[in-house]
Homo-oligomer: A and B are copies of this chain.
Amino acid sequence: MTDMISPRPAAPPRQRNRRGEGGRLRDEIIAAAMRILDTAPASELSLRMIAREVGVAAPSVYSHFKDARALMAEIVRDCWAQLGGEMSEAAAQCTAGALATLKVQMAAYVRYAMERPSRYQLLFALQPLETEALRDLPGLIQPAYRNVSDSIERFAAEGHVLPTVDVVDATLLTLAMAHGRIALAHTAPHRAGNATAGVEQFVLDMLDRIFRV
């Protein structure tokens, strides 16, 4: 009964790209991976599964990615970019002070993590890949990290005293607190307070308390 999870429906028949447009497949592959992550756990993602979702034979992937690892690395990269992008977008809408901006950014962070759990989990599952393709990890995290540290720096510039010795520590505290709370929610999704709204509320409350105005 528990195992009667619906198998992925077969991809619709696909017509091949026109002559100089083979590059489109690359985008289709990434898009298919994202689609899979919307309904399956990150651990199920595989080259063959992605090829199936696109509606293409497995070897076709090799025209666009060196190997499975490179493909996965690219997907991770894109997820980090999405997360950073959504945080920046949220910040851009916010004209209030630094703390308000930080809260808006972190609300976007929480929503990404809670609404696309598999994508979010992939961000921290890169151990097996790390060895080569993701040497530039710091660069990947950068967009998300920067969103937070910029706001905190602005917060300090507004004349507030930080709850930590420096901006780096305050940034780590902010991200650690949010990531930790999210991980607990993901581990026990049905507990009270572990839905998106509850986690978002928790994180925003904590930001208020940590950076008490």
Contact = CB atoms under 8 A, between A and B. Distances in A.
A188 B178 CA distance: 17
Interface stretch (A8-16, A29-37, A59-67, A123-131): A123-131
30 contacts: A2-B132, A41-B127, A41-B128, A43-B127, A43-B128, A124-B186, A124-B187, A138-B188, A141-B188, A163-B209, A164-B205, A169-B202, A169-B205, A172-B202, A173-B177, A173-B181, A173-B206, A175-B180, A175-B184, A176-B177, A176-B178, A176-B179, A176-B183, A177-B177, A178-B180, A179-B183, A179-B184, A180-B180, A180-B181, A183-B183
A112 B164 CA distance: 25
Contacts of A205: 164, 169
A53 B2 CA distance: 31
Contacts of A180: 175-181, 183
Nearest to A145: B184
Nearest to A212: B163
A188 B188 CA distance: 25
Interface of A: 2, 41, 43, 124, 126-128, 131-132, 137-138, 141, 163-164, 169, 172-173, 175-181, 183-184, 186-188, 191, 202, 205-206, 209-210
B181 A176 contact: yes
A105 B40 CA distance: 36
